[in-house]
Chain A
């Protein structure tokens, strides 16, 4: 039952995404929001405009006002102070709108979250359409992500489970290092 419902919602979202891709297919306007990144991601995003990458040749532009934006490009783990501004920016955007998480921090919180100071990834604040991993993602990765949002390139990453048959006996797992750290 549950996964059926999941399927249904996924289909709906796929349909919306298809529509968005039809609409934005050849021109996309981006509003970027820094939700607490170390400025490496910003640096890379800015470099998208330099002659080496020049994403404007792909019909992708950065806009000043979210009112003109189709896509919200978010970096950083969403610090407490940036949560409301981020929400506001998203609210200020017209439908339909895409959200792209840039960098490990935005995708999952990276090394920063969730903690007392940050949400740990923008998924906990906004619905995310595209994840661009990396710390920071290189400009090419960014371009791939943006074009993926537009449905102009194929997705290469596929998750899943692979099963290895091992003859050796399994032994007990020692708890991973991190749990120890957490109690600081």
Chain B
């Protein structure tokens, strides 16, 4: 009896992942955290389709007043709240949202899980529009 178990165990061989020494890959289909392609998002036009379907309030949208005094719109994506249900992705009219299969998501500070996208009015200095200036997130 014992030996048949041992044999079984031996026959199974080694399955153990070598992570973190070797990176693993989750299946492509895996529904991980959503990421926003800001260039496609039309939040500044008052679209809040994604926010509407976000049960845990991971997505929120509010107006802020910039230092310059002009109105801006900010879309906050809080991964600490996100339950990766994927509803926002299907809700987005612009396909600006997609889920990823990244898995190294842990963070030591709450702020690190909070990604703010600020839609500011056109820059008088004529920088290229629709382009991201600072980039945080999954480095």
Residues of A within 8 A of B (CB): 17, 51-54, 57, 104, 107-111, 121, 123, 128-135, 137-138, 140-141, 143-145, 147-149, 152-153, 155-168, 170-174, 176-178
Contacts and interface: CB of A to CB of B under 8 A. Distances in A.
Nearest 6 pairs of A and B residues by beta carbon:
A160-B136, A145-B106, A135-B83, A177-B52, A107-B80, A176-B51
Given A110-B83, A111-B83, A170-B73, 19 more contacts: A107-B113, A132-B105, A135-B84, A135-B85, A140-B104, A141-B105, A144-B104, A157-B104, A159-B115, A163-B132, A164-B120, A165-B127, A165-B128, A165-B129, A165-B133, A173-B61, A177-B51, A177-B54, A178-B60
Contacts of A173: 46, 48, 61-63, 73
Q: Which range contains the number of B residues in contact with the other chain?
A: 35 or more
Interface in B40-86: 41-42, 44-46, 48, 51-57, 59-63, 71-74, 78-85
A179 to B, nearest CB: 10
Highest count of chain B CB atoms <10 Å: which of A160, A165, A174: A165
A165 B116 CA distance: 14
Contact of B107 (A57, A108, A157): A157
Highest count of chain B CB atoms <10 Å: which of A109, A129, A133: A133
B7 to A, nearest CB: 16
A176 B130 CA distance: 24
Interface of B: 12, 15-17, 19-20, 24, 26, 30, 32-33, 38-39, 41-42, 44-46, 48, 51-57, 59-63, 71-74, 78-85, 102-123, 127-139
A155 B107 contact: yes
